[in-house]
Amino acid sequence: MAIRKIIRMGHPVLRKEGKKVPIKNIKSPEIVSLIKDMHETMKSSDGIGLAAPQIGESLQLAIIEIPEDSPRYPGTKKSDLLIIFNPKVTILDKKNQGYWEGCLSLPGLRGYVERPRKIRVDFLNENGEEVSLKLEGFLSTVFQHEIDHLNGKLYVDRMKDPKKFSYTEEYDKYHSDEGENFSE
Ligand code: ZN
């Protein structure tokens, strides 16, 4: 296991569509060890999500784990480690919700992004089983942020108002009462 370097905006891999992971490869030693590296890397950055392209692996693989009693996100429940291969998002409610998002590949920055509030995500888990989840609120935004990474997108692509783009320090000072936030 190893903590891997998280690549930052400007690195071309973040702009590439990740390759689908064939179901027969999901339990291969390479993928199992990649998931371990991703989990360690995410925890070492206090993250709640990480996509494989963020450590330079252009694959359709992301992980999400909401820690217990996260003081940053009151009201969210602890989740198991969710391992997500080849996901597909279906929008169930076009009504948007906005969060000030942060991303491990854009350290020190925050931007206000609106996304559909209710989605269904279909994906394969670490056992190659098909999973379908209906998500709303916080988790809907977290999943969409991670899945964007698998398609070469960053949250800046989805921002509508450049005035709502800020360094974290200034965000904390001047914008933290302007709605909810989420930092990968
Ligand atoms: Zn991100």
pLDDT of res. 68: 72
Per-residue pLDDT at 72 = 64
* pTM (predicted TM-score): 0.95
Residue 182: predicted pLDDT: 87
List the catalytic residues: 146
Q: What are the 10-residue block averages of pLDDT along the chain, 184 residues in total?
A: 95 98 98 98 94 98 84 69 97 95 97 97 97 94 98 98 96 92 89
What confidence score (pLDDT) does residue 21 get? 98
Q: What is the pLDDT of residue 86?
A: 98
> Ligand 1 mean position to 148 CA, how many Å?
8
Model pLDDT, residue 24: 97
Question: 12-183 in CATH: which number?
Answer: 3.90.45.10
HEC letters along the chain:
CCCCCCCCCCCHHHHCECECCCHHHCCCHHHHHHHHHHHHHHHHCCCCEEEHHHHCCCECEEEECCCCCCCCCCCCCCCCCEEEEEEEEEEEEEEEEEEEEECCCCCCEEEEEEEEEEEEEEEECCCCCEEEEEEECHHHHHHHHHHHHHECCCHHHHECCHHHEEEHHHHHHHHCCCCCEEEC
What pLDDT does residue 75 have?
63
Residue-level pLDDT at 69: 62
Q: Give the model's pLDDT for residue 10.
A: 98
How far, in Å, is the centroid of ligand 1 from the Cα of 30? 23
**CA–centroid distance, residue 95 to ligand 1 (Å):** 22
